[in-house]
Structure 1
């Protein structure tokens, strides 16, 4: 896995309104540095960066993350746990 992906995974979930500016800045600096396409392995690992709620979209960061994941050609092999709204949204996009 590339260094940028590992750094993002180390930071954890997308920032929320409860996080400080420093976390937001660091997170988006790394997120923006991930060049597409990602590998399937990277895409599967990055799925854990989503919060369960769509409300935690990190001001567009969730959409950016979703596009980075999809750049790999990643597709869910089985129906994901729909407690995660972003996983559900990706599943629906893949199955239209």
Structure 2
């Protein structure tokens, strides 16, 4: 896994709307430092970085980054009470025709 991805993942989930502007900007800079496409391993690790809300749109940037990989980073359908971003990522993958049985790659 590339150092830029490791650094982002090490900082944990995205903050919520209560985060400072500096913290949000720092996480945006981290995301921007990750070149596309990501690997399957990187996509899987990045899935754990969704926070409780959209973090002023930063979660969309993370979702689009994950989608540059060869799979959505999820191998099973999220539980009904899962993070909304996991559910959204799963639905988007299925909607474009990915076979859930093939998402383990």
TM class by smaller structure:
0.7 to 0.9
| Deviation digits for residues 50-88 of structure 1 (CA, Å, limit 9, x no counterpart) | 12x4xx101111111011111012143221234211111
Q: Deviations over 1:8-41 (max 9, x none)?
A: 1121111222212221121111111111100000
Which sections of structure 1, spanning at least 5 residues, go unmatched?
none
Do residues 58 (structure 1) and 76 (structure 2) align?
no
Kindly tell me the number of residue pairs found equivalent between the two proteins: 93
Cα separation, 1, equivalents of 2:87 and 2:60: 13
Q: Which runs of 4+ in 1 moved over 6 A?
A: none
* 8 Å CA contact 1:43, 1:69 repeated in 2: yes
What's the TM-score, normalizing by structure 1?
A: 0.86
Tell me the residue number matched to 1:94: 93
Maintained 8 Å contact 2:17/2:56: no
Segments of structure 2 that go 5 or more residues without pairing to the other structure are: 96-105
Scaled by the length of structure 2, the TM-score of the pair is 0.80
Higher normalized helix content (fraction of residues): 1
Cross-structure match for 1:68? 65
Q: Which one has more relative contact order, counting CA pairs under 8 Å at least 6 apart?
A: 1
Give me the whole-angstrom Cα distance separating, in 2, the residues matched to 1:46 and 1:81. 18
Secondary structure of 1:22's counterpart equals helix
Aligned partners of 2:43 and 2:66 also within 8 Å: yes
